[in-house]
Amino acid sequence: MALNKVVANAEEACRGIQSGMTLMVGGFGLCGIPENSIAQLVKMGVINLTCISNNAGVDDFGLGLLLQKKQIRKMISSYVGENEEFERQMLSGELEVDLIPQGSLAERCRAGGAGIPAFFTPAGYGTEVGEGKEVRIFDGKPHILESALTADFAIVKAWKGDTAGNLIYKATARNFNPLMAMAGKTTIAEVEELVPNGQLDPNQIHTPGIFVQRIFQGKSYEKRIEQRTVRKA
């Protein structure tokens, strides 16, 4: 019989997250971000967090809410161009920032979940990204050594999940969430729809439940659009 990993809400799901921890936070832009869990972290008031996320949200949404409260000490990201408060904190030295090529960030998370400690990639060679890193030549091309990323907690958002923690993502939300779900010592999944174990088609599951320790059905998703472009009438 499959384990029941359901918790009541974001408050119970985030139990044990403490100041100074490293968190992986899924999503791509504002798509597929764990809105309920982020709101709970703001409420908890934990500080000095290291957040690994593709982006840092916007000024008043997503991880931007944690930045407003000065709860994040360090951001490990690949794109941060939509957040003025992030820019201000980075330029003032209040926020430590590690900018990583997007593909390298994705692979570092995946490698962490797969138990691979490091890998070589050509991305970043000859730039600030590659400074101080080991270089090897493969097929005549220089590659730099990148280390895997893991976290105390990975917090992801899925479209559907079951009581055993199996997850299905929708569209762009599948970019980073599955990789991060593998790499947390404890993985929290919030879902739009929670169903009994056995109701998901096994061939459609993106994250097997073995990677998920806590799952809950979220509420009141805003699903804000980061940049809206419309055709002129």
Give pLDDT tens digits for 26-69: 999 899 999 999 999 999 999 999 999 999 999 889 999 999 99
Range of the domain at 85: 18-99+150-217
Q: Is the dihedral of CA 15, 23, 182, 156 positive or negative?
A: positive
Is 126 domain-assigned?
Answer: no
Q: What is the pTM of this model?
A: 0.93
CA angle 204, 205, 209 (to 5 degrees): 165
Q: What percentage of the chain reaches a pLDDT higher than 90?
A: 88
Check whether 133 has a pLDDT greater than 70.
yes
Residue 55 CA to residue 64 CA, distance in Å, equals: 10
For 85-122, what is each residue's pLDDT tens digit?
999 999 999 999 999 999 999 999 999 999 999 999 99
- Is the pLDDT reported for residue 1 higher than 60? no
Contact 34, 56 (CB under 8 A): no
What is the rounded average pLDDT for all residues in the chain?
95
Neighbouring-strand partners of residue 193: 160
Within a domain: 167: yes
The Cα–Cα gap between 212 and 204 comes to 17
Q: Using an 8 Å Cβ cutoff, are 64 and 55 in contact?
A: no
Contact (CB, 8 A) for 151 and 160 = no
pLDDT number for residue 222: 81
Tell me if 139 is assigned to some domain. Answer: no
Q: Is the pLDDT of residue 158 over 70?
A: yes
The whole-number pLDDT of residue 230 equals 84
CA distances for 84 relative to 58, 62, 180, angstroms: 8, 13, 26
Q: Within a domain: residue 3?
A: no
Per the structure, the count of domains in the chain is 1
Q: Is residue 135 part of a domain?
A: no
Tell me, yes or no, whether 166 lies in a domain.
Answer: yes
The tokens 């000095």 sit on which residue? 48
pLDDT at 147: 98
Examine residue 83 and state whether it is found in any structural domain, yes or no: yes
The CATH number of whichever domain residue 179 belongs to comes to 3.40.1080.10
Q: Enter the tokens of residue 28.
A: 């791509």
- What local confidence, expressed as pLDDT, does residue 2 receive? 61
Count other Cβ atoms within 10 Å, centred on residue 196: 11
Q: Is the pLDDT score of 227 beyond 80?
A: no
